[in-house]
Amino acid sequence: MRIALVSDIHGNLPALEAVAADIRRRGVDQVLCLGDNLSGPLLPLETAQWLMASGWPVLAGNHERQILEWTPGTGGASDGHALSTLGTAELDWVRGLRSEWQWAPGLFLCHGTPRSDCEHFLETPEDGVLRLASAVEIAERLAGQSSALVACGHSHVPRALRLATGQLVVNPGSVGLQAYVDDEPERYVVERGTPDAHYAIVEQVDGAWHCSQLSLPYAHQAMAELAQRNGRPEWARALLAGRVT
């Protein structure tokens, strides 16, 4: 079975549609979606409706939780925009999403790590950027999870690491947002340097998991213009160039 992993769509429906078309072209058997699906100043309602109709297994990320918890004055603008567009059916769907999933024997899905939806798995914030996590850090974040393939998202950084245990941990990168600034647990910047959408395909060959990381263009200018119209110039810059400045 060839499995496509998608994550961190952030309401970017044209990027999602481009990725889905590429997945169909490659004859993938199954698509798994790893969370942070809607939050942002783009098309959260339309993205929710697309995913609801897709039949894909979909996880909740930290932003799904934050959308449901959002309150004026304390919640983030991206989560607040998403919440303001969603109807009852979409919110009920979000509430029903799992935060992690042992999707098959030997295949575990999470958004951040098995122990937290807002912890980076393969990177660690340090000195304003995300550095590669150490082997000790990754082992701690596994939290005893022994599946041969562990899929995660959250950082927006495409990466696949084979551990000393033989396990493969895969982050497919972000479908919808290639640069951002975060302040938790400290301030750091992620810049992919490209507007392209990212996803991954994994498959078992001779009993071992293999990973291919893919990137592809989509109509990113239109999404940058939408972000600008919705009062988010920093998103517009990130969508245009995959950089925050």
Q: Domain of 92?
A: 2-241
For the chain, the farthest-separated pair of C-alpha atoms sits apart, in whole angstroms, at 53
Half-sphere exposure of 168 (CA within 13 A, CB side): 18
> CB within 8 A of 157, min separation 6: which ones?
122, 123, 130, 171, 173, 190, 192
- Rounded distance, CA 32 to CA 230, Å? 30
pLDDT in tens, 1-35: 999 999 999 999 999 999 999 999 999 999 999 99
The tally of domains found in the chain comes to 1
- pTM comes to 0.97
pLDDT in tens, 143-187: 999 999 999 999 999 999 999 999 999 999 999 999 999 998 899
Provide the CATH number for the domain around residue 61: 3.60.21.10
DSSP reduced 3-state for 202: strand
- Rounded distance, CA 167 to CA 140, Å? 14
Strand partners, 151: 109, 170
